[in-house]
Amino acid sequence: MDMEVNWMPVALQEGHEAIERGEVPIGCVYVSSDGIELARGSNRCNEMRDGTRHAELVAYEQMVLRMGTARVREEFSRGVDLYVTCEPCIMCCAALALLKVRHVVFGCKNEKFGGCGSVRAIHESRSTRIPGIVSVKGGVFAEEAIEMLQKFYTQENLNAPEPKKKRQRTLHT
d(CA 141, CA 163): 31
- Minimum distance between the CB of residue 154 and another protein, rounded to whole angstroms? 20
Do the strands 27-32 and 103-108 form a parallel or antiparallel pair, or are they unpaired? Answer: unpaired
User: What is the widest separation between alpha-carbon atoms in the chain?
Assistant: 51
SS3 at position 85? strand
Q: Active-site residue among 14, 17, 47, 56?
A: 56
Residue among 128 and 143 whose Cβ is closer to another protein: 128
Q: Which residues bind another protein (CB under 8 A)?
A: 48-52, 57, 60, 64, 69-70, 72-73, 76, 89-92, 94-95, 98-100, 112-113, 115, 119-120, 122, 125, 127-130, 160-161
Told to judge if 56 belongs to the known catalytic residues of this protein, a careful annotator would answer yes
Residue among 136 and 140 whose Cβ is closer to another protein: 136
DSSP 162: S
What torsion, rounded to 10 degrees, do the Cα atoms 131, 79, 135, 107 define?
Answer: -130
Residue among 6 and 125 whose Cβ is closer to another protein: 125
Annotated catalytic residues are: 56
